[in-house]
Structures are given as structure tokens and as C-alpha cells.
Chains A and B, each alone.
Chain A
Amino acid sequence: QSALTQPASVSGSPGQSITISCTGGNRDVATYNLVSWYQHHPGKAPKLMIYEVTKRPSGISNRFSGSKSGNTASLTISGLQAEDEADYYCCSYASSSSLVFGGGTKLTVL
């Protein structure tokens, strides 16, 4: 199962918006609306930020939003804050009852 493709890094200034893309294929992102996004601060447990492409778990700021078009899902963070600096991973259900992750994107808040 090939990993989903994410940019290695993105950056933005406080208050700005950034978008992280996640590209897959017909066995995962393009076929299933089961894309989730995780925030990971090194040394801590990953945290669910978005699930089923666009849904936010309780307690997650509405500054975080998700979308999908064809085989590419996206995570947008608006009103960037210093605390948003972390690694972000997309994940998709893939055929044959499995999960596949993206390679991760390091977000730097300038």
C-alpha cells in the first residue's frame, strides 16, 4: 500500500491561512470519504483534528477545516497560531479494510 503524498513542509505567519494537501488514488482518497487528519507534536500522542473529510471532533477549533476534490484531500488552518506548529498527517481508508497514512507535513509558524 503506497503512502499518501503530502508536502514535506509548509509555513505561514500568525493570523494567516495555510493549506496542506494529501494526494492518493482510486484505492483510497478518490473512492472513500474516510479521510482524517492528525496533529502531532513530537513526544506527544497524535490528535484527531478532522475525520470523514470535513467533520471536526468536539473541542477542535473551527479554524481547522477539511475538504476533498477527486484524489486530493486538504486541511486548511485559518488564523494561524504559534500552538499550531506541529506535524500533520492525513490518513485514508483503503480497500481491503486497511488504513494508509501520508508522509507527514511539518508546519512552521513564522
Chain B
Amino acid sequence: QVQLVQSGAEVEKPGASVKVSCKASGYTFTSYYMHWVRQAPGHGLEWMGMINPSAGSTRYAENFQGRVTMTWDTSTSTVYVELSSLRSEDTAVYYCARVALGPFWHLDLWGRGTLVSVSS
């Protein structure tokens, strides 16, 4: 079954870091980019960045430069996003979503999301 399975909800304190995972199955992991998108309560979707597991390259949105790190593990078909220096505004549902390698920029498969709550 083609799917993206994300890790469970996290609760973190301000200033801490959080790492969310996204495990791909049912397709060739290295044939797709993986993007991360988040949705804060009452807000729309916000693009965070992307990783190319085949080339090992990443591209981060300007708003997250310096605070976000995206990594991958080909052996387990898993990608990770780590966000540091957390603040209350980072409370959101974090989604992973794939895009086929090539001149494509549509997210054709999404995970169900991981809620990250930042609170003292």
C-alpha cells in the first residue's frame, strides 16, 4: 500500500527541538522528493522545504532557514524534519508529502500529519 506514515504527537517546551519522522512505503523511496508543510491552528498551509533522498540535497523556505534540518535514511525509507529553538508559534500539524522527481511540483501523496505542541 502506497502511504506515508508519520510519527506521533509531540509536546515540547519553548527553546527545545523536535524531530518528526515520515516513513514511506509501497513505492520507490528515491524516486520522489519529500516536502514538509505545516498548518498552525486557524492558519493555512505553509511550505517548509524539501529533500531529495536520491541526491541528498535539501532546500528550505526562507522563514525556516537556520532552524530547520531535513534528513533521510534510505535503509528505512524514512525522512525526518527537525525544528529547533521552538516557540509557541511553531505549534502546528506537520505534514510530509511527496513529489515525483523531475519537473514536477505537485504533492500527490500526504501523510496524516503530526501535531507538535509548544508550551511551557
- Residues in A lying within 8 Å of B, measured CB to CB: 1, 3, 34, 36, 38, 40, 44-48, 51-52, 57, 89, 91, 93, 97-104
CA–CA, A19 to B109, complex, Å?
24
Q: Number of B residues whose C-beta is below 8 Å from A?
A: 22
A1 touches B62 (CB 8 A): yes
- Residues in B lying within 8 Å of A, measured CB to CB: 35, 37, 43-47, 59, 61-63, 95, 97, 105-113
Query: Given that A46-B110, A48-B108, A51-B106 are known contacts, is A89 also in contact with B45, CB under 8 Å in the complex?
Result: yes
Say which residue of B43, B44, B47, B109 sits within 8 Å of A98 (CB atoms): B47
What is the minimal beta-carbon distance from B38 to any residue of chain A, in angstroms?
A: 10
CA–CA, A51 to B104, complex, Å?
9
What is the minimal beta-carbon distance from B23 to any residue of chain A, in angstroms?
A: 14
Q: Which residue of A lies closest to B107 (CB)?
A: A48
Q: Which residue of A lies closest to B93 (CB)?
A: A43
A45 touches B105 (CB 8 A): no
A98 touches B59 (CB 8 A): yes
What is the minimal beta-carbon distance from B93 to any residue of chain A, in angstroms?
A: 9
Query: Given that A97-B59, A100-B47 are known contacts, is A45 also in contact with B35, CB under 8 Å in the complex?
Result: no
A98 touches B46 (CB 8 A): no
A46 touches B108 (CB 8 A): no
Further contacts, 17 of them, CB under 8 A, given A48-B107, A51-B108: A1-B62, A34-B105, A36-B106, A36-B107, A40-B45, A44-B112, A45-B95, A45-B113, A46-B97, A51-B106, A89-B45, A93-B105, A98-B47, A98-B59, A101-B37, A101-B46, A104-B44
